[in-house]
Amino acid sequence: MKILALAVATLFLVVSCKKPNDTTPDFTESKISLTTHKLASFSALKNSTYLVVFEAGLGEDHTVWNNNAVAAQINSTADVLLYDRAGYGQSENGPGPRTIDRLRSELERVIDTFSNGRKVILIGHSLGGLIIRDYAIKNPLKTAALLFVDPSHEFYNHPSQAEEDGLYEASKNANGANFGGTLEAREFIEDLQYMRTLPSLPNVPVLVLTHMQVDATHSASAMQAWYDAHELLKNGVTDFTHIAATHSGHYIMIDEPNLVIDNFKLLLSKLP
């Protein structure tokens, strides 16, 4: 199971090298000034009821959501905000350590810049799932709904220190010591420990997509354990939907983009 956890976490090293779409057409780029650094944001705003905010996984900048025009298609029904975390894409490096607690606090600043008092629908992939969980728990009155795309989870991911070290070194060798993913990889064990201390999600509509594709490195039993960990996200949540993506790998938004888009629409239909 530890081997699979590491494989899931290191997929970014492969996918980040083969993004088919590195642009964000029709989105307005702007910089958000934090106390210590600036973050690049990309928004398409039409004054919808809710603001949809995307959070990418470990090693990915905002362009991962441009694959198959996922962000653009969701923008057809709601305002959309994407951004690059510190050390990614066009954002500046930020202070360390790059823990979930710090990433969540920076996400709060990003959202407050664009929300204009509106509640947000958060979409988070992989490590981004930890960030949006922390945001929702700390900001329940600002959160309308959550869509998790194969999120990391502390009850499945149990990397050893050697595995975290390997992940860190692989990212440093591929992208440099100051790359956002490298610095975030250094905190992976601590982040999972931190998530164990958090209470349940607020009682808002939650939808989880879990990749369940069985292959040479992902056994049926391992995939079931991954699904079961995601099932724990329903604790305290009245409206919880959990969908097994049997034809997808970890990057569901690339393998089955319509699964993300259609289930976002389902989630949106549940809101007033």
Q: How confident is the model over 138-151, as a mean pLDDT?
A: 98
42 to 23, 37, 115, 118: CA distances (angstroms): 10, 17, 13, 18
Q: pLDDT tens digit string along 95-142?
A: 999 999 999 999 999 999 999 999 999 999 999 999 999 999 999 999
Q: How many C-beta atoms lie closer than 10 Å to residue 76's C-beta?
A: 12
Could you tell me the CATH number of the domain that includes residue 140? Answer: 3.40.50.1820
Q: pLDDT tens digit string along 167-188?
A: 999 999 999 999 999 999 999 9
Helix (H, G, I), strand (E, B) or coil at 65: helix
User: Which structural domain range is residue 223 located in?
Assistant: 2-269
Q: How many C-beta atoms lie closer than 10 Å to residue 47's C-beta?
A: 8
Residue 220 buriedness (CB in 10 A; 0-12 / 13-18 / 19+): exposed
Q: Is the pLDDT of residue 25 over 80?
A: no
Helix (H, G, I), strand (E, B) or coil at 230: helix
Place of tokens 């699904």: 227
Sequence-distant contacts of 164-167: CB under 8 A, at least 24 apart: 164/188, 164/189, 166/6, 167/6, 167/9, 167/10
Cα torsion at 91, 69, 20, 57 (round to 10°)?
Answer: 50
pTM of the model: 0.93
Share of the chain above pLDDT 70, in %: 91
> What is the C-alpha separation between 7 and 11, in angstroms, rounded?
6
Cis preceding linkage at 97, omega within 30: yes
Which residues 6+ apart lie within 8 Å of 220 measured at CB?
Answer: 214
pLDDT value at residue 24:
61
As for how many domains the chain has, the answer is 1
Q: How confident is the model over 146-158, as a mean pLDDT?
A: 96
Q: How confident is the model over 37-51, as a mean pLDDT?
A: 97
**95 vs 18 pLDDT, higher one:** 95
Q: Phi, psi at residue 52, to the nearest 5°?
A: -95, 125
